[in-house]
Structure 1
């Protein structure tokens, strides 16, 4: 059940099957932010730049 709750469908075809610096930054920031919501030890260690609004996907 936990695996289903934490799985995300990523339509990589919309990104041209490329993971750019921006995409990997967003994925990492999002992953650590979600983990920090559930870990009182991790939250104070998390020092990341807030994500800007994503660009529209064509």
Structure 2
């Protein structure tokens, strides 16, 4: 049996803009470089939230 589903107007595929940006960074930086970049970005966001929102 083969099932087919209609594609709705608002259905997005896997290749959305955020996915393409992350995939491009992953290919350019490698797994360790991408992990380091994400860790630095998370640290910056955490500091901003702590300093400006919680205090």
Structure of greater Rg? 2
Q: Which of 1 and 2 has higher RCO (CA within 8 Å, sep 6+)?
A: 1
The alignment's TM-score, normalised by the length of structure 1, stands at 0.39
The alignment's TM-score, normalised by the length of structure 2, stands at 0.40
